[in-house]
Amino acid sequence: MSNNRYLSKHIRSFFEDHLVCRRKMSQCTIRSYRDAVKLFVQFVATHRRKAAANVLVTDIDDSIIDAFLMYLEKERGNSIQTRNHRLAILRSLFNYVSLQEPLFLEQCRQVLNFPVQRRTAQPEISYLEKDEMECLFKAIDTRTALGRRNYAILRFMYNTGARVSEASDLRVSRLHFEPPPKVEILGKGSKWRTCPLWHSTAEILRNLIDEQIGTANPAAHLFVNKSGNPLSRFGIYGVIAKYK
């Protein structure tokens, strides 16, 4: 069997050649693509009852795309926006496959023609008032190292409005404590922005740096787990969810 029939071959070149070398996407965007493709391949492998490495391009049709999107909504509880985002990533992948191997144009066409789902209503945007945020902060047990780290994460995100991915990627070298304190944030599209830090936030972050082992390196991530490894986006989501 030709290696071109294996989906894994096309996924590898899609990430290594197309996304990194040609489109020069940021690492945050690439991780988002990776998570979506990983979830899809795992679903197809389970649905087709074969190992993920053995999934073929010909295993993909509109019925499995429909089943995957329903799985996202019904079992994983994803929003319509997340569902459409996953579909957009799959479209990008299979558009690439169609250009590399015309033999699979029919399979790719079924993915590319799959419709997005329209939102029936705008989601309600909720927020906490200042006194409610202060109550949330007071609920964190800062007597422990884990509590102090979580307190620093939430204070930083409240101060700057940083995305979860931006907080996860924050490095020690991007913090500037000389007056006026500020932080440089690498955002979507590899664009930089500078955000001022409140003096209270700057003090909390400075104390975290002093306390954590291994953050003397300016290139080190600021928010790390118990093993000293950078917190992932999902790790920070977990911190946020813990104090909801």
**Domains defined along the chain, listed by start:** 3-112 (1.10.150), 130-242 (1.10.443.10)
Q: State the Cα–Cα distance between residues 186 and 178, nearest whole angstrom.
A: 20
Cα–Cα distance measured from residue 177 to residue 45, given in angstroms and rounded to the nearest whole number: 50
- Which of 39-48, 103-112, 183-192, 219-228 has the highest average model confidence (pLDDT)? 39-48
Q: Centre a 10 Å sphere on the Cβ of residue 62 and count the other Cβ atoms it contains.
A: 13
Let me know: does 55 contact 41? Beta carbons within 8 Å. Answer: yes
Who's near 110: CB < 8 A, 6+ residues apart? Answer: 60, 61, 62, 65
Task: Give every strand in the sheet of 175-176, ordered side by side.
Answer: 175-176, 182-186, 192-196
Confidence of residue 233 (pLDDT cuts 50, 70, 90): confident
Query: Residue 123 has what pLDDT?
Result: 59
Residue 131 has pLDDT above 70, yes or no: yes
Peptide bond into 180 cis (omega under 30): yes
Residue 125 has pLDDT above 70, yes or no: no
- Quote the CA–CA distance of 220 and 230 in Å, as a whole number: 8
CA-based nearest residue to 172, from 218, 109, 233 = 218
pLDDT per residue over 143-190, tens digit each? Answer: 999 999 999 999 999 999 999 989 999 999 999 999 999 999 988 777
Tell me the residue type at 170. L
pLDDT digits (tens, 9 = 90+) for 54-89: 999 999 999 999 999 999 999 998 888 899 999 999
User: What does the pLDDT read at residue 121?
Assistant: 59
Half-sphere exposure of 239 (CA within 13 A, CB side): 27
